[in-house]
């Protein structure tokens, strides 16, 4: 039986976007609706909370150190409490809030928006802060991950009944094509949320309102189902010194905290498979 370990009792309203930094040996993640993000060092147990006072959709690692943050005010570079504004939502042509995002292995930042209507998009932001709209008609743009060989991009739309798509992906041109359904709606309240890919090319998916994490083969077959002690796990990311520890964020929004006292906390699962290091971006800086 897989042991699900609670590692930080932070009671996030909407925990999201876990990212492991191999350079710092720390895990970052956000409380989107709590308007803060966290830095956790497993080696020492040190936990730092950074309050920002606005919605945080996601974060990503930057090659110069620091982070790219998708805030209510726009895409921003942050390092030691210093900020550099890069792009606003209005520049991208939307007033909808930013949600989940990811960096591809060429360093480009992919970010989507979310609302209650199918009027959201997925954007690719290039290293010079120019951008392209890559997908439209999305409700809640969510988890993004790339296969180890850079030929497939996975992308979840958590709105409505929820679906995970797969695309052909070209790393050199940074284009996506041939959208197909990787994982159809569950037919229950459970909706695919954040996700990540391991070194074997298998997908790990957190299911909002589903009490579980699933590992899926590249052909969609269910390999493992891991029961969680919380109703709304939100995302997952491999970390630890050898990338065999799966960190899982969760939410306490819309759940009974008396019945689920661990809702919103950070969890860890030790696995027998390695993850992949998350790419860093140089977005916003023409000189590395």
| Residues designated catalytic | 193
Contact in structure between 67 and 82 (CB atoms under 8 Å): no
What is 187-249 written as a DSSP string?
SSS-EEEEEEEBTTS-EEEEEETTTEEEEE-TT--EEEEEE-SSS-EEEEEEESTTS-EEEEE
- Distance CA(242)–CA(104), nearest Å, equals 21
Express the helix, strand and coil content of the chain in percent, nearest 5 each: 0, 55, 45
Instruction: Look up tokens 């995970």; give the residue.
Output: 164
CB 157 within 8 A of CB 122: no
């Amino acid at each position: 039986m897989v042991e699900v370990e609670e590692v930080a009792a932070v009671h996030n309203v909407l925990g999201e976007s876990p990212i492991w930094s191999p350079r710092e040996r720390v895990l970052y993640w956000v409380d989107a609706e709590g308007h803060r993000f966290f830095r956790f060092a497993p080696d020492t147990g040190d936990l730092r909370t950074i309050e920002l006072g606005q919605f945080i959709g996601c974060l990503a690692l930057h090659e110069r150190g620091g982070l790219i943050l998708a805030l209510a005010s726009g895409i921003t570079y942050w390092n030691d409490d210093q900020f550099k504004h890069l792009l606003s939502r209005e520049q991208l042509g939307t007033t909808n809030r930013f949600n989940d995002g990811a960096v591809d292995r060429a360093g480009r930042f992919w970010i989507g928006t979310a609302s209650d209507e199918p009027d959201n998009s997925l954007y690719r932001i290039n290293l010079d802060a120019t951008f392209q709209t890559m997908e439209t008609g999305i409700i809640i743009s969510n988890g993004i991950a790339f296969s180890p060989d850079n030929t497939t991009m996975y992308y979840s739309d958590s709105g409505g009944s929820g679906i995970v798509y797969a695309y052909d992906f070209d790393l050199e041109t940074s284009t996506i094509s041939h959208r197909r359904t990787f994982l159809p709606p569950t037919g229950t309240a459970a909706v695919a949320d954040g996700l990540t890919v391991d070194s074997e090319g298998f997908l790990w998916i957190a299911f909002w309102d589903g009490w579980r994490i699933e590992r899926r083969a590249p052909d969609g077959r269910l390999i493992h189902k891991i029961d969680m002690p919380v109703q709304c796990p939100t995302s997952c990311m491999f970390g630890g010194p050898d990338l065999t520890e799966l960190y899982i964020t969760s939410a306490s929004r819309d759940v009974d905290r008396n019945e689920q006292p661990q809702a919103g906390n950070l969890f860890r699962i030790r696995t027998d498979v390695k993850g992949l290091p998350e790419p860093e971006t140089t977005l916003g800086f023409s000189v590395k």
